[in-house]
Chains A and B, each alone.
Chain A
Amino acid sequence: MSSPESGSYDATEAAPHGKPRATEWPLWEVFIRGQHGLSHRHVGSLHAADAESAIKNARDVYTRRNEGLSIWVVEASAIAASSPEEKGPLYEPSNDKVYRHPTFFDIPDEVGAM
């Protein structure tokens, strides 16, 4: 259950020819779509040598109890994520736009459901 922003992580890529091989398999983030029409959801991560074995491993690690009907795997290093420091500039502007929520508007009861 990691999230995409994994910590310092050096030994994942195979070494160039002539260099000692990195022994650790790359990290993959796993997304599963369940049975009820919801979109793929991040469920955790795992190590695998390539995408094909990452999907097989994800099947064993994250769907032992019918949790899903579709698996996506993405190499963790390929994910771009917003950083916590950007929290203010990224999300605060939406705080002063309360009119985006339907509850901002008073609709008389007589009008009925809207």
Chain B
Amino acid sequence: MYAQMIKSTGKGVKSLDEMDPEERAFQERINAGGKIEPKDWMPEGYRKTLIRQIGQHAHSEIVGQLPEGNWITRAPTLERKAILLAKVQDEAGHGLYLYCAAETLGVSRDQLTRDLLTGRMKYSSIFNYPTLTWADMGAVGWLVDGAAIMNQVPLQRTSYGPYARAMVRICKEESFHQRQGFDIMMKMVNGTEAQRRMAQDALNRFWYPSLMMFGPSDAESVHSAQSMAWKIKMNTNDELRQKFVDQTVPQAEYLGLTVPDEHLKWNETRGHYDFSEPDWDEFFDVLQGNGPCSTDRMEARNMAWDEGRWVREGLLAHAEKKRARKMAAE
């Protein structure tokens, strides 16, 4: 997902009887569907896990602008260009909503940015893959945003108020992203033979990286169990991945494209598609910073930060000067 491999305390979920009164009240409030707000008491593990999770999600939105930004100057028509610009601008907005939510937990924006730029914090593995053709803009919207929606819709009910509210805004906008991607794919498959091949090639390259977005199976993970007890994770990785496959395969069929998995098959008794697991070694390798575009992405973010420094400082100096003038005039 946009937040992958988030480690919580790892000590296993405490029962209500094992908790002191404060933590017990906190957990009972979550169990009853209540929201936790910034100034409320919360266990340190909840706060730290959320900072990691929301921070990683925010970083993913920001870094996620790069693969699509790659095509803004080369969009095939003015209309497609305007749409893509609007979409990439939305991603920046999503990053900002999420950084604000993380900041309510007592971490500063600059700290989060520093942690991304130094590699201490991660972003989703998916954005380390290249966008080689225009059809990739279709595949990214359709598959990558489609996978993100699977995770983000349930997170609107997450226990942390600012995070839930950010998710509500994001989900409202995300549907546009997926639809514009699918629209590109429809145009491509109804175009020339070369365009159709391009669309198939994009699906071939993005299918498994999209499945990886959900992270490896976490049915046995103590971290996931804790996050689910805290309602900062609403479904297991496998549940969401299955849901994504079940939804996406018929859409691929509609497009006349072939999902690159020879074991993909409808399972009548399960009522779900059976499908092949992605290559998890590749996933861990990409997460370690060895993806095809990992170096490029980090270089681009570092460059934006370094070269934007004079703007940040200049505007602050200007604001200070204006404030001083106003004080002197009064």
Q: How far is the CB of B84 from chain A (nearest CB, A)?
A: 15
- From A2, A50, A64, name the one whose CB has the most chain B CB atoms within 10 angstroms: A2
Q: Which residue of A lies closest to B105 (CB)?
A: A7
The answer to the question of B265 belonging to the interface, with a C-beta cut-off of 8 Å to chain A, is no
Q: Are A49 and B104 in contact (CB under 8 A)?
A: no
Q: Are A1 and B169 in contact (CB under 8 A)?
A: yes
A3 to B103, CA, bound (A): 10
Q: Are B100 and A8 in contact (CB under 8 A)?
A: no
Q: Which residue of A lies closest to B315 (CB)?
A: A49
Q: Are A1 and B38 in contact (CB under 8 A)?
A: no
Q: How far is the CB of A57 from chain B (nearest CB, A)?
A: 9
A45 to B166, CA, bound (A): 11
* Binary contact track A1-25/B, C-beta < 8 Å → 1, others 0: 1110111111100100000011111
Quick one: given A6-B104, A61-B93, are A23 and B165 in contact (CB under 8 Å)?
Answer: no
Quick one: given A2-B100, A14-B320, are A47 and B38 in contact (CB under 8 Å)?
Answer: no
Residue from the list A1, A24, A49, A65 in contact with B100, Cβ < 8 A: A1
The answer to the question of B40 belonging to the interface, with a C-beta cut-off of 8 Å to chain A, is yes
A102 to B274, CA, bound (A): 58
The answer to the question of A35 belonging to the interface, with a C-beta cut-off of 8 Å to chain B, is no
Contact residues in A for B108 (Cβ distance below 8 Å): 9-11, 24
Q: Are B103 and A7 in contact (CB under 8 A)?
A: yes
- Residues 33 to 51 of chain A near chain B (Cβ within 8 Å): 44-47, 49-50
Q: Are B319 and A3 in contact (CB under 8 A)?
A: no
Q: Are B110 and A23 in contact (CB under 8 A)?
A: yes
The answer to the question of B181 belonging to the interface, with a C-beta cut-off of 8 Å to chain A, is no
Contact residues in B for A9 (Cβ distance below 8 Å): 103, 108
Q: Are B110 and A11 in contact (CB under 8 A)?
A: yes
The answer to the question of A83 belonging to the interface, with a C-beta cut-off of 8 Å to chain B, is yes
Q: Which residue of B lies closest to A8 (CB)?
A: B106
Contact residues in A for B309 (Cβ distance below 8 Å): 23
Give the total number of A-B pairs whose CB atoms are below 8 A apart: 97
Contact residues in B for A83 (Cβ distance below 8 Å): 39
Contact residues in B for A6 (Cβ distance below 8 Å): 38, 103-104
The answer to the question of A53 belonging to the interface, with a C-beta cut-off of 8 Å to chain B, is yes
Residue from the list B104, B107, B318 in contact with A5, Cβ < 8 A: B104
A10 to B40, CA, bound (A): 20
A11 to B161, CA, bound (A): 25
Q: Are A24 and B110 in contact (CB under 8 A)?
A: yes
Q: Are B316 and A1 in contact (CB under 8 A)?
A: no
Q: Are B104 and A25 in contact (CB under 8 A)?
A: no
The answer to the question of B89 belonging to the interface, with a C-beta cut-off of 8 Å to chain A, is yes
Q: Are B315 and A25 in contact (CB under 8 A)?
A: yes
The answer to the question of A84 belonging to the interface, with a C-beta cut-off of 8 Å to chain B, is yes
Contact residues in A for B41 (Cβ distance below 8 Å): 84
- Residues 47 to 75 of chain A near chain B (Cβ within 8 Å): 47, 49-50, 53, 60-61, 64-65
Contact residues in A for B106 (Cβ distance below 8 Å): 7-8
Q: Are A84 and B37 in contact (CB under 8 A)?
A: yes
Q: Are A21 and B38 in contact (CB under 8 A)?
A: no
A65 to B96, CA, bound (A): 16
Residue from the list B97, B107, B312 in contact with A44, Cβ < 8 A: B97
Q: Are B93 and A64 in contact (CB under 8 A)?
A: yes
Q: How far is the CB of B35 from chain A (nearest CB, A)?
A: 11
The answer to the question of B322 belonging to the interface, with a C-beta cut-off of 8 Å to chain A, is yes
A6 to B38, CA, bound (A): 7
Q: Are B316 and A49 in contact (CB under 8 A)?
A: yes
Q: Name the 6 nearest CB pairs between A and B, nearest first.
A: A7-B106, A50-B319, A49-B315, A1-B165, A1-B166, A49-B319
- What would be 21 A-B contacts, judged by CB atoms less than 8 Å apart? A3-B104, A3-B161, A3-B162, A5-B104, A7-B104, A9-B103, A10-B108, A14-B320, A21-B313, A24-B109, A24-B110, A25-B316, A44-B100, A44-B169, A47-B109, A49-B316, A50-B319, A60-B89, A64-B90, A65-B173, A81-B39
